[in-house]
Structure 1
Amino acid sequence: MSTTKPDSDHVERAPDADGHTSTPHEKLSLINSRDADDALRVALAGQGETWTEEEEARVLRKIDWIIVPILFIGSLIGYADGQAFGFAALFGLVEDMQLFVVKIVGGEVVLDTNKYQLAAGITSLGGAIGQYLLLFPAQFLPAGLVYGTIVIYIGVLALLTIVCENFSQIMALRFFYGFSQVVQPLSIIITVMWWKTREQPLRIGFVIAGNALGSLVGTGINFGALKLEGAYAGHEWKWIYVVLGSCALFIGILALLVLPATPMKAWFLSPRERQIAVCRLMSNQTGIHTRRFKWRQGLSAFADPQVYLLCIFSFAFAFSNVAISSFGGYLLTSFGYSQSRALVLSMPASAVAVVCILLAGALGRRFPGYRIVIAIAFILPSLMGNLILWKMPRDNRSGLLGGLYISTTFYGSLVQHYSLLAGNIAGHSKKTVVMGTITAMSALGGFSGPWAYKGDQSEQGYPDGQIATLSLMAASIVAYILLWLYYTYRNQQREALLGEQPESIVDPMIAFMDVTDRDNVSFRYVR
């Protein structure tokens, strides 16, 4: 029966001048516990302990069966609610709230959708403003409490949508709805608490699949809700929010009850299993959780080149994603399909996204050193798909549908993007600021996306939107190439530095001392 120890346990702490090696309690007394990771005490107590591969596998299974489903369903509900706005627009929301203006241009009647664009984009603007406001408190509160509360918040605002009657009311609600976008960075922060770096891509893939599957399931729910009559006959779009809002409330309450704060407080693990769950993450060098915000760490995030390169993709992805979710229905009707038919035909696009996300997660697990390469491989087909949507003759419905479906492959790159964030940002305060910054950039991209898709260009397939999307995807590929070069350079620097130093100077407990990736000489960037 084989035994396992933390990957960094082969490095022993040097004894002091009297030949004495510090005990765990003596080590802890030498460290300012306010500065260290919450997991340090557990790691010190478990230093030198061994466990079998079977024990670790059992712990991993328990974590997978409890944490992944909650994050997956939360992601599914959050995105299904966001997707609902795009389809509610096709079935009466725009007319009920007067989100359009009829104009006569050149003797023809033209629908000006600027109000709808603003209502669609304001959610992302709220998300950009709300990230830091919510992620800072999240550092001091239990992860399960924050995550569950945000999902409940989504449900409440979804239900409140049905009482909105005009442009100003829906604008205010959609702005505050944007605060719910903190669910995605919270999911990544929680992921780092539970899984090794090499295990993260597959789990992140399952969680993010909730986004795409949320679109697929949400479309099915939307289609069914539109068949309901009763209190909202003639305003069928309201049933969409009744169903989805109710589901969100249920999932939020479930998350409050089930999702633990950290592995150290996991109700479903025994004391020994909690120790294994913590100590096995030592090789990540990214820590688990720290309740004290360190301003030096937070500010250092803005001096890190990788943050800006990752922001480019975040902006580009959100730009394309929100444009598709808000204008996907209108894009399909521009092919000549009816509103109901457009709803059905949008479902394969979501299915393609789900397959790409899961495939990207599996590839990331199989080839952990090629995350950037995998990300670029999923962006390239999307470039072709958007090019087809732009240049394909408008009477070629099959070709246009094919282009739309191919254009969603870029969802696979999001898995690797979040895997890079999870694996390459250390220091909890820095992690908080980076996730807030990345998500704020995503929100700004989402705010910009709908404006590129102009209502009077529907017959031409929204050429301005396609050009903007193609340009941003190309910029993302360039940013990823530069990121690969940066990570390679930094790793080579670390190897050269440690090659000149004795191994004994590196304490394996540095993994839980809440040190940033740039300050920790043992840290290696995953690519």
Structure 2
Amino acid sequence: MTISYTDEKHQKDPSVTEYEDEIQLGTVLSESGQEFEIHGNLKEMDQALELAMNNDDFIFTEEEDTKLLRKIDLVLMPFVSFLYSLFYIDKASNGWAAVMGIRKDMNMKGIMYSWTGSAFYLGYLVYQPLASLSLQKFPLVTCFSVYMFSWAVIICLQATNHSYPAFTFLRTLLGCSEASASVFTTLLTSQYYRKKEAFLRVSFWLATSGFGVFFGNMMAYGIAIRSESFSIAAWKVLFIVIGLISFVVAVILHFHVPNTPATAWFLNEREKRIVVERIRENYQGFGTKVWKKHQFFEAVLDIKTWVFFIYAVAFNIPNSALASFGSILLSTDFGYSSTDALLYGAPQGVVEFLCLPAIAYAIQKFNLPRLLSTAVVITICITFACMLAFGKNSGTKLAGYYLLYLMQIGPIGSFSYFASNVPGYTKKITVTSVYLVGYCVGSLVGPQTFATKDAPHYTPAKIAIVVCICVAAGCFYTLWLICYMENKARDKKAIDLGDKYCAPKNIEFSDLTSTENIYFRYTL
């Protein structure tokens, strides 16, 4: 896409190729109120634009809209939600294996086990930018199904040896393979749903990590109590079962989920056109395969990007620590046996799986500010973190441990923001990638807060959890305030411009960022 600005601040991106057969969209206003012409080849613009150009005077009924939304939900949401729960099971399997004998079998001492958790996030951190870029350059679902197939193989390979270095290396490769998961589900959600619908749908697939907690703990418990029935170690059986499930899901994903709504097998031609009209208000379509340098730099220079980065670091220190040491904490601090620790870890998944969608539904139904509501819920979770850290008896600590997982409302607020509030495909991928880099940094640090010398109660690690939850809540209050003020400024600019404030046709699918497009408003 070629952008010709009339002000000196902006210049055409030299990395974008010009074509002779360009189409003209018209004059657009940037956030600063400056005018610029936008034109380009269909190959460089959003993939939804070609459908949108044939939608002149296209009208659909509210009944059709409701029916189509229900169809999309039924076809995509159950599968994508299970896929995301499997993503959690895959990375958390290390924690269940810890109480099933892997530490003893591999002779792990000191911080050796902590590094098996950190190794996953190290691989995730290193490969994440390339994973995001590959999802943009190649067909979305086809590319991700390859990644998923690779991590299924790696999980199975974890059961093939007793070598600590080899196991840690495989955990690093697993992090590389799974670095694409959150980006994939975010991009897929943005293709089909309006901004006002994204928060609830993101809550569906993110909350199923709670189902993953429940299902994974119960599966590990079932294998552990029958360990004498197997000819190999129970933790090896666990890895093989999880790997085979991931392999089957990867095959189904490849054939079941389309790369874009334009190629969706479950939509007829009219429904595909309705999808395009539904997502006009997002000011983003299906995505473009062209990486745009100016959008990358805009994302890097946006203060909101770095607030999300700080949040991701703060949130994932306790998140990863509990994922790796939750079962150990239940055993050493709470006093449960190794097998009972697996059983007692399951209810926290139920809390997450049931409560988070309920909270998201209430926020959508009553039209509450999503960023602000997310901040409030995280603030409440500070109380639960204090119950876990400073409780005097196992009952209080266990209740805090379960309820603390309501803090997962934070990733729901984050990924729904990326899906609906970050127009510009390259910018969306960049902002999401920076967030995930913060996710990796926090996840690398998290397991290290549980030092062996602090066993069995790990009090310093618990205090770190309380502090990090406080920082996470502060980040969301900051994000809400920034977006609120920017919307107010845009509304004032619209009034000042008067008749000049008129969006050209199909501007929604021109792949403009929020800075380039004054007509965009943040969903608070």
Same fold by TM-score greater than 0.5:
yes
Match of 2:112 in 1: 115
Asked whether 1:434 is paired with 2:431, we answer: yes
Tell me the CA shift for residue 326 of structure 1. 0.5
Match of 1:323 in 2: 321
Instruction: Say if 1:358 and 1:412, in contact at 8 Å, map to a contact too.
Output: no
The 3 A distance-change label for structure 1 pair 368 and 253 is farther
Tell me the CA shift for residue 401 of structure 1. 1.1
Match of 2:63 in 1: 54
The 3 A distance-change label for structure 1 pair 26 and 413 is closer
> Matches of residues 127-526 of structure 1 in structure 2 within 5 Å?
127-179=124-176, 180-229=178-227, 232-233=230-231, 235-334=233-332, 335-393=334-392, 396-459=393-456, 461-501=457-497, 502=499, 505-526=502-523
Instruction: Say if 1:126 and 1:175, in contact at 8 Å, map to a contact too.
Output: yes
Structure 2: how far apart are the matches of 1:368 and 1:130? 38
Tell me the CA shift for residue 369 of structure 1. 4.7
The 3 A distance-change label for structure 1 pair 261 and 234 is closer
The 3 A distance-change label for structure 1 pair 43 and 234 is closer
Instruction: Say if 1:142 and 1:260, in contact at 8 Å, map to a contact too.
Output: no
Asked whether 1:45 is paired with 2:42, we answer: no
Match of 2:75 in 1: 66
Tell me the CA shift for residue 392 of structure 1. 2.1
Instruction: Give the counterpart letter for 1:320 in structure 2.
Output: P
Tell me the CA shift for residue 194 of structure 1. 0.5
Structure 1: how far apart are the matches of 2:229 and 2:394? 37
Instruction: Say if 1:289 and 1:428, in contact at 8 Å, map to a contact too.
Output: yes
Instruction: Say if 2:319 and 2:443, in contact at 8 Å, map to a contact too.
Output: yes
Match of 1:124 in 2: 121
Instruction: Give the counterpart letter for 1:166 in structure 2.
Output: S
Q: Which secondary structure state, in structure 2, belongs to the residue aligned with residue 505 of structure 1?
A: coil
Q: Which secondary structure state, in structure 1, belongs to the residue aligned with residue 415 of structure 2?
A: helix
Instruction: Say if 1:372 and 1:416, in contact at 8 Å, map to a contact too.
Output: yes
Instruction: Say if 1:424 and 1:525, in contact at 8 Å, map to a contact too.
Output: yes
Structure 2: how far apart are the matches of 1:155 and 1:54? 41
Q: CA RMSD in A?
A: 1.9
Structure 2: how far apart are the matches of 1:471 and 1:32? 50
Structure 2: how far apart are the matches of 1:161 and 1:231? 20
Instruction: Give the counterpart letter for 1:163 in structure 2.
Output: T
The 3 A distance-change label for structure 1 pair 369 and 507 is farther
Tell me the CA shift for residue 279 of structure 1. 1.6
1:80 corresponds to which of 82, 89, 100: 89
Instruction: Give the counterpart letter for 2:60 in structure 1.
Output: W
Structure 2: how far apart are the matches of 1:363 and 1:492? 25
Structure 1: how far apart are the matches of 2:368 and 2:517? 20
Tell me the CA shift for residue 234 of structure 1. 6.0
Instruction: Give the counterpart letter for 1:340 in structure 2.
Output: T
Q: Which moved more, 1:203-212 or 1:149-158?
A: 149-158
Tell me the CA shift for residue 238 of structure 1. 0.9
Tell me the CA shift for residue 508 of structure 1. 4.1
Tell me the CA shift for residue 287 of structure 1. 2.8
Structure 2: how far apart are the matches of 1:523 and 1:268? 31
The 3 A distance-change label for structure 1 pair 368 and 448 is farther
Tell me the CA shift for residue 412 of structure 1. 2.3
Q: Which runs of 5+ in 1 are unaligned?
A: 1-23, 101-111
Tell me the CA shift for residue 140 of structure 1. 1.9
Cα offsets for 1:174-208 (capped at 9, x unmatched): 11111203201210111001100011111111111
Tell me the CA shift for residue 368 of structure 1. 4.2
Cα offsets for 1:446-495 (capped at 9, x unmatched): 11100011122223x21221222211211122222221221111111111
Instruction: Give the counterpart letter for 1:54 in structure 2.
Output: E
Instruction: Say if 1:384 and 1:406, in contact at 8 Å, map to a contact too.
Output: no
Tell me the CA shift for residue 229 of structure 1. 4.9
The 3 A distance-change label for structure 1 pair 30 and 175 is closer
Instruction: Say if 1:378 and 1:412, in contact at 8 Å, map to a contact too.
Output: yes
Cα offsets for 1:210-260 (capped at 9, x unmatched): 211111111111112224458844611111111111111001100000110
Structure 2: how far apart are the matches of 1:337 and 1:39? 55
Q: Which secondary structure state, in structure 2, belongs to the residue aligned with residue 515 of structure 1?
A: coil
Match of 1:14 in 2: none
Instruction: Give the counterpart letter for 1:245 in structure 2.
Output: G
Structure 1: how far apart are the matches of 2:179 and 2:47? 27
- TM-score normalized by the length of structure 2: 0.89
Q: Which runs of 5+ in 2 are unaligned?
A: 1-21, 27-37
Instruction: Give the counterpart letter for 1:498 in structure 2.
Output: A
Structure 1: how far apart are the matches of 2:429 and 2:64? 32
Instruction: Say if 1:76 and 1:214, in contact at 8 Å, map to a contact too.
Output: yes
Tell me the CA shift for residue 63 of structure 1. 1.1
Structure 1: how far apart are the matches of 2:85 and 2:391? 32
Structure 2: how far apart are the matches of 1:73 and 1:186? 14
Instruction: Say if 2:276 and 2:285, in contact at 8 Å, map to a contact too.
Output: no
Instruction: Give the counterpart letter for 2:495 in structure 1.
Output: G
Structure 2: how far apart are the matches of 1:144 and 1:320? 31
Cα offsets for 1:62-101 (capped at 9, x unmatched): 211111122111101111121211010111111111221x
The 3 A distance-change label for structure 1 pair 444 and 141 is same
Q: Which secondary structure state, in structure 1, belongs to the residue aligned with residue 104 of structure 2?
A: helix
Instruction: Give the counterpart letter for 2:468 in structure 1.
Output: L
Structure 2: how far apart are the matches of 1:230 and 1:251? 29
Structure 2: how far apart are the matches of 1:422 and 1:27? 24
Q: Which moved more, 1:476-485 or 1:215-224?
A: 476-485
